[in-house]
Amino acid sequence: MRKLILLATLALASAMMPATLATAAPAAPATVEAGPTAAQLLAKTTSCHQISNGKYKTDEDVSSKTVAVCDANGAVFWKADMDIDCDGQRTTQCNENTDCCFQDDTAFHQSDGKALNAAKLPYIVVPSSSGIWKYTSSKLKGGGSCAVIYNGKVEYAVIGDTGPSQIIGEASYATAKDLGINPDPSNGGTDSGVTYICFKNSSVSPIENHANAISKGESLATTFVNSN
């Protein structure tokens, strides 16, 4: 009789085991960190501590100089337009036929030595050093991390090229496309409403890795919001 009771008890325990395991609480999903919103970033750029010696034009055919470079804790920023940079590697989107001013090189290069791919990589253009401003004096460099804000969207990009010394407000085909701006180098871009925030002493490596640019950019943007 004792043997029968023991066997029955073991059988009952075995039958209950799957049900017990099935009721175990599922593992909590991993927490995903995200960078600040466009509004949070813009709230830190409402006033300008100007560090440029004068202001920049937004286009070659514009006479007025309206854009200042502003200093902040851990970053510099400016508010301008966006012209389309299609320089670098030849692609379907960027070549001599699509862009009258196409150049097959960029100021900064991929880890394999090739020019950047404007159609694929979100990057911005900083003005070449001049008496107005030297980007290197603000602790910026090629491959540096930047946040570009437009119409409620944030794009994390790298400093990928340099442009005219008197003009500011330019970014790659890919940057414009991701922000919902017409990226066509012949008739695209936007005349205003773009804020560029570039983080001091930052570097994305390799420069062509956009996933790394996003990760680093979100982290630096969070620090920027918290320290300004």
Under 8 Å between Cβ of 156 and 217: yes
Token pair of 204 as six digits: 């994305």
Within-domain flag for 97: yes
Within-domain flag for 22: no
pTM (2 d.p.): 0.85
**Per-residue confidence (pLDDT) for residue 33, from 0 to 100:** 55
Within-domain flag for 60: yes
Within-domain flag for 24: no
Within-domain flag for 10: no
Domain count, the chain: 1
Q: Please determine, for residue 222, whether its predicted confidence score (pLDDT) is greater than 60.
A: yes
Collapsing DSSP to helix, strand or coil, 104 comes out as coil
Distance of CA 48 to the CA centre of its chain: 21
CA 146 to CA 193: how far, in whole Å? 16
Under 8 Å between Cβ of 39 and 46: no
Within-domain flag for 88: yes
Within-domain flag for 96: yes
Strands 75-85 and 170-172, how do they pair?
parallel
pLDDT in tens, 45-74: 999 999 999 999 999 988 899 999 999 999
* CA nearest neighbour of 123 among 145, 149, 104: 145
Within-domain flag for 148: yes
pLDDT in tens, 84-119: 999 999 999 999 999 999 999 999 999 999 999 999
Domain enclosing residue 154, as ranges: 35-227
pLDDT in tens, 122-168: 999 999 999 999 999 999 999 999 999 999 999 999 999 999 999 99
